[in-house]
Chains A and B, each alone.
Chain A
């Protein structure tokens, strides 16, 4: 179909449309031409009708619509904010948070483990050794003092030591056996209590029994022997019984102790 024929057909269709005389076939053809944009609504005088339709003012809703809408919006805002609050505790939210917290903790522990101050630990133990050594020196020097009070202080210093050295225990036994003051000797005996598991110290304590002249120390040693069930001390205790200088009350106490030990 050439352009002239096309234009003729188009004009014919438009006229028939305006007159309301289109056949069904012509209607299809017209629609096809509209689809292909060969005929516009304006050409069919329909654009005008459509514009009139558009020009009709839309109706105005009542204020009820506004009230309902803003009430709904307020409710939504409220539920959204409460939802946000609760959402902090929702499982899907909590799981990654706990996971993150656990991972952070583990990383912290691992970093702490690898970066732990190993040299500090060594330094601390070295420092502790130095302090103990100083205490020992102080104790030994105080035992040399003339004042019984100083010597008592020296004996009490050993109670602050976790584990006294052999030098200290030897000094305590020396004090127990030779100190002039009974109280100092009794304090030395008390200070030796923690070390009675050591057999050499036990032997020294047994030997000390015969050397004691103070009834108080004799009785204290006899009670200690009973407490530690040291049967080998019986021989030494009997020496005290045979000694005429031993007071009668002490002899009685020693006899009781020997009875328990045997």
Chain B
């Protein structure tokens, strides 16, 4: 990770993106440092493919650069960025017509491997099961929960991104959590 000067760290996302838009492309590095992990988390949560997720994060920043002139500066940068991230994700799967590997099988494979047990599943069992449950959700429900996680429950902003009202987002989140809870219970009974 690059070392950043404190005065640059203090700049808001929007102020940085405005600088990028106006030609100071180096400032994109600061935004990258701030958001590479949430973006990677979002993509990895969607496809469970580390290499692909890194490529998709890269694609998001390529698009941010490409369409930087469209950033007006009056909206929230994070919302704009996740909007691009959603499009990148949808475009990738539409183009390649491949779905993420069956999540349950994937998890079972990993559970069966002692190596994975020791490296990847060091978190608490509850968190492991929750992650497994997430992977079994349909794409739209997993997406709304990931957006809610990385957008810090800003339902209004998520609504802008999805083209629906804040109340409608709450209902979508409810349905996703309801199904997550159900899957979690089943997994809990199984393992």
Contacts and interface: CB of A to CB of B under 8 A. Distances in A.
Are the chains A and B members of one assembly?
yes
Interface of A: 17, 20, 31, 34-37, 41, 44, 46, 49-50, 52-62, 64-66, 68-70, 72-73, 76-77, 80
B177 A46 contact: yes
A41 B28 contact: no
B170 interface: yes
Contact of A68 (B26, B38, B58): B58
Given A53-B145, A60-B37, A69-B29, 10 more contacts: A34-B171, A49-B181, A49-B184, A59-B41, A59-B44, A61-B40, A65-B36, A65-B54, A73-B26, A73-B32
A100 B126 CA distance: 71
Interface in B39-64: 40-41, 44, 50, 53-54, 57-58, 61-62
Contacts of A46: 174, 177-178, 181
Contact of B40 (A34, A37, A58, A70): A58
B28 A34 contact: no
B165 to A, nearest CB: 9
Q: For the complex, would chain A's binding face be called helix, strand, loop or mixed by DSSP majority?
A: helix
Given A34-B174, A52-B127, A72-B62, A61 B29 contact: no
Nearest to A32: B171
A221 B147 CA distance: 115
A17 B32 CA distance: 42
Contacts of B173: 41, 50
Contacts of A53: 130, 134, 145, 149, 180
B171 A58 contact: no
24 contacts: A31-B174, A34-B174, A46-B181, A49-B177, A49-B180, A49-B181, A53-B130, A56-B131, A58-B37, A60-B40, A61-B50, A61-B54, A65-B40, A68-B54, A68-B58, A70-B29, A72-B58, A72-B61, A73-B26, A73-B28, A76-B65, A77-B26, A80-B23, A80-B25
A115 to B, nearest CB: 43
B41 A58 contact: yes
